[in-house]
Each structure stands twice: as structure tokens, then as C-alpha cells.
A = this chain, B = another copy of it.
Amino acid sequence: MSKQILSIVEGDSAGTSSSILKLKNMLSELNTQDISEMFDELDRENIVKLFRILPKAVAADVFAHIDSDHQQIIVDALSDIEIGEIMGELFVDDAVDFIEEMPASVVKRVLMTVPAEKRTLINQILQYPEDSAGSIMTTEYVDLREDATVREAFEDIRNTGVTKETIYNCYVIRRDRLLVGVVSAKTLMLSKPREKIGDIMDTNIVFAHTTDDREVIADKFRKYSLLAMPVVDLEQRLVGIITVDDIMQVMVEESTEDMEIMGALTPSDDPYLKTGIFRLAKNRVLWLLVLMLSATITGSIISSFEDGLAVLPALIAFIPMLMGTGGNAGAQSSTLIIRGIAVGEISLKDVLRVVWKEIRVGAVCGLSLGIINFLRVYIMGERNPFLILTVTLALFCTIIIAKTIGGFLPILAKKVKIDPAIMAAPVITTAVDATSLMVYFSIAKVLFRL
């Protein structure tokens, strides 16, 4: 269906009234999201053409879903009146998302088309810190009074519900917008028409403050299986709500951020394919630099053992295997602990349990790998018992140390209020590299009396 529409839009006859009618019919059968995706396939001119064909009812919704590049193309082509119509239809949170991506000149022009009241709301939300509850909330919600009846509530919803982002949770407020309860549409539907909202509302409200971090809010949504959450200011006055669809977006973005930090990247929201070379390089070079300079410590450990290596050059060949295995063993532990902290399974008080666990897991892994490595070295023809013993012992100790470091550092980071995700593979690898070499060379020194 999408392909057919695209070919008509891009064709020569796109302007004729019969093809427009045909397009409108086809578009009406498609989902907003599917229509939005078609814009990715079109050039500048056809983007505007397709957008103008959209039925009024879906145009604003589609606009909220398309890329900011495409939003700008459309805004540049529309008249102020047309922009005003779209802005009037957009939910406040979608309007804010759109405005945040626009250059200053476009923002000015767009805000001019918005009625003063909505403009104030938008400006307010724009001022909340990034990643805070305030910055992702919307202001279109249903509010009710305690002394209203269920029947009145239904009337209220029928009259205003179509412009609300959700009607499935209604918020009960007193004068001064003080939040006192929440009542779900389910409760309303299962209650008698004459019952009072104050009697059926739930006063045990899970809410957020405007400055709460969005990751914490996402955890609460998951924990309490919420569809929406009210946001209040410091005086407990209702200022907005957050809906679960935005939270799913937050969950994906937060996981991406964690993975990027764990991969030694400066996290960024920009989609990879649309980000320029220098921007991508900038997000990578800082950590590479830090880790490169740390790795020179490892180099100087090797240098300090140069004489020993000159006497016994066979030791050199095992260095990559030891460093690599140590790094991977530590990375495994840190991955589990970082994730455990992120999903709330592991907290600061578990530090001793984690370390003790990692020491024992390290011993089991070290023993298994030690035996297999011993066999491999022997089968490949190495017969010097001291060399085999040195490598096997060093491997065993390295794995235990790596696992202990990998388990401990993320918790330490949490303790000193750094993001534990920083203590992932790259940092652990660098830390373990130096340690494993020191262990290796120390054992060699003792066994070979170097």
C-alpha cells in the first residue's frame, strides 16, 4: 500500500483531482506511524506534496511522528495560518519535541502562530532540564473534582476527551490544582452513575516531581505497571502527565545510552546514519585517548621486565592470551554487575556478596581454563615444566583478579556517584592488562629465579 502511494505521489499525475481522491482514500486506511515512515522515502518537494494531501485529522499526528529534518521542510513550505492549525492540534509534549529540534528562526515563527496560553505552556516545558519529568510530560489530561459524580465525569470526558492524550486515568484535584487522587476509566465504567469521584478515587498515587530523572520514572512505570503518571510541582500541584508510550521511548534511549557508555563512547541521541564524520569521531576520541594513555602503563611494565624477556623470549608469546582472557573475564563480571545495578537487582550493600561471589566464580573459571590451556600448551609441544606452570598459574590468578575487579569497580562507581556503566569492558580491560602482566612476570621471576 505504502509503495503504491509513494509512486502516485512521485508520479506526474499527482496533482490531478482524481489521483488526490485516490490517495486520500488509500491514506485513510493507513496507520499514522506507517504514513510517517513514507516521508523517509521522498525528496523535499514530494514531502510537502504528500503532507498537503493528508486529511486534517491525521496531519498533526503524522507531523509529530516524522523526522525533524522533514518537519522543518514542511514548516518552511507552509503559511503561518497552516502552521497555526498544526500547532493547535499537536499535544504540548509533541510540540515541545518539535520545537527543541528547530533552529531559532523557525522556533520564533512557529511560536508566533500559537495562542498565548499554549505558548506559555510550551515555554515552561522547554525550561525543564533535559531528561527530567517536566521535559517529557504533556499538559492534556482529564482533571476532575472530588464532589463530581461519575455521570458528570463521563460528560466531562465526552466533551473534552478527544483533545486529551489519555482519558484512561483522570486526576482529581482541589482548588489550587492540588493533586488528591486518581481514578481510572475502568473504575468509572464499573461504578454507578451517582457515585462521587471522591468516594471511588484512589488516593495512593504514584507520581513524579517535575525534576525527577526520566530513568527513575521509567522504572516506576514498569514496577507499578502504569499507563500514565501525574507530574506535580514542589507544592504538590498537578502540572502535567507522562504517558506510557513516551516511557517506552525513554526505556530504549536509556538502554542505548548505557550500551554506548559501556562501549567507551560519549552517549548521543543522534541516529548513526545521519551523524557526520567529525561528530562521530568527537564522541569516540576522548575515551580512546584516556584508554590509550592508560595502556602506556602496561607498556612500561613490559619495559621494566625487558631483561627477563630477553633471557626467556618464549614468555612473550603468551602475553596476548593472558591479557585478552583477563580482559574478557573482567568484562563479563562488570557487564552483569552494571546491568544488575541498572535494573535495581544489585545495590551498594551487596558489595561484599558480589566480591565473594566473583572470587569463587573466578576460581571455577580459572581452574577450567587453566586445565585446558595446560593441555593445549603441552599438546603444541611445549615441554619446559616451569614455563607451563608459570603460564597456567598466571592465567588462574589473572581470571580471579579480573573477576574481582570487574565485580567491584561498578559498585565503587555507584558509591562515588559516577555512572557504573563507565566501568565496562574498555576500562576493566585496561585495568586488568596491567595487573595480569604484573602477576605473570612476578610468577616468572620466582619460578625462573630471574
Contact = CB atoms under 8 A, between A and B. Distances in A.
Interface string A262-291: 111100000111000110110011011101
Interface residues on A, range: 35 or more
A197 to B, nearest CB: 16
Nearest to A350: B273
Contacts of A259: 258-259, 262, 335, 338-339
A38 interface: no
A299 B365 CA distance: 21
Contacts of A245: 222, 225-226
B272 A328 contact: no
B364 A278 contact: yes
Contact of A328 (B167, B264, B296, B314): B264
A273 B353 contact: yes
A76 to B, nearest CB: 25
Given A185-B189, A272-B345, A277-B361, 20 more contacts: A33-B224, A33-B225, A161-B190, A168-B185, A248-B251, A259-B339, A260-B339, A273-B357, A284-B332, A285-B369, A288-B325, A288-B329, A288-B332, A288-B369, A289-B372, A292-B369, A302-B319, A302-B320, A320-B437, A327-B327
User: Which 6 pairs show the lowest CB-CB distances between chains A and B?
Assistant: A263-B335, A225-B245, A298-B320, A281-B364, A295-B324, A255-B255
9 contacts: A168-B185, A244-B248, A260-B335, A264-B328, A273-B346, A277-B360, A284-B365, A292-B325, A299-B317
